[in-house]
């Protein structure tokens, strides 16, 4: 059985994942409004990933006979001065998400809830990837930020990013 403390923390994480989705959707729309369709695509894929992260946690709580408690989603920023600002904000946000995921792991560990620890480990690994990807995007944009052709080519590259269902959902047939 999942502890009340962990159930509450996972519900908080679900809502944080949905807020993250909303943030990345706002970034996608802002990038598109600025004519960066590839950047918009990159953030739209992030939007979908965050929705799926929330779904993974919701499915997990349901599988443990715990209740999912959805809360209203707070507003998100809707404008960034530059693409570089978007990716810097992304890295800072992902660092906050990493801290939240680590807290879930600490609670599961203290509860000796090995099933929950196993689920959280997937997210810990995912957060390492998320932060690394954000850093790579910052480096890529910094490399071309004063070069219009370079930004054009980077935007074209980002337009090719496609969405892949996260493995926990794929395993569940979602």
Residue 62 is assigned to a structural domain of this protein: yes
pLDDT less than 50: residues of the chain: none
Going by C-alpha positions, the residue among 103, 128, 129, 127 that lies closest to residue 116 is: 103
The total number of structural domains that make up the chain: 1
Going by C-alpha positions, the residue among 137, 143, 26 that lies closest to residue 78 is: 26
Tally Cβ neighbours within 10 Å of residue 87.
25
What is the structure's pLDDT at 156? 79
The CATH number given to whatever domain includes residue 60 is 1.20.1260.10
What is the structure's pLDDT at 112? 97
What is the structure's pLDDT at 165? 83
Between CA 12 and CA 18 the distance in angstroms is 10
Domain containing 31: what range? 4-167
Q: DSSP label at 72?
A: P
Unique residue bearing structure tokens 């695509």: 41
Residue 172 is assigned to a structural domain of this protein: no
Q: Please classify residue 137 by burial: count the beta carbons closer than 10 Å to its beta carbon, then call 0-12 exposed, 13-18 middle and 19+ buried.
A: buried
Per-residue pLDDT tens digits for 120-167: 999 999 999 999 999 999 999 999 877 776 877 787 788 778 888 887
What is the structure's pLDDT at 135? 95
What is the structure's pLDDT at 106? 98
What is the structure's pLDDT at 173? 67
Residue 86 is assigned to a structural domain of this protein: yes
Residue 60 is assigned to a structural domain of this protein: yes
What is the structure's pLDDT at 19? 98
pTM: 0.90
């Amino acid at each position: 059985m999942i502890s009340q403390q962990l159930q509450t923390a996972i519900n908080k994480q679900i809502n944080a994942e949905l807020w993250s989705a909303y943030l990345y959707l706002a970034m996608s729309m802002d990038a598109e409004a600025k004519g960066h369709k590839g950047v918009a695509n990159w953030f739209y894929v992030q939007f979908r990933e965050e929705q799926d992260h929330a779904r993974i946690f919701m499915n997990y709580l349901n599988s443990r006979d715990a209740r999912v408690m959805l809360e209203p989603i707070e507003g998100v920023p809707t404008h960034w001065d530059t693409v570089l600002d978007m990716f810097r904000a992304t890295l800072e946000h992902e660092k906050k998400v990493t801290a939240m995921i680590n807290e879930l792991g600490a609670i599961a560990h203290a509860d000796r809830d090995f099933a929950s620890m196993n689920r959280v480990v997937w997210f810990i690994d995912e957060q390492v990837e998320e932060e690394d990807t954000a850093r790579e995007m910052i480096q890529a944009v910094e490399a071309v930020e004063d070069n219009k052709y370079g930004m054009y080519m980077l935007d074209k590259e980002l337009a090719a990013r496609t969405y892949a269902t996260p493995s926990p959902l794929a395993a569940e047939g979602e």
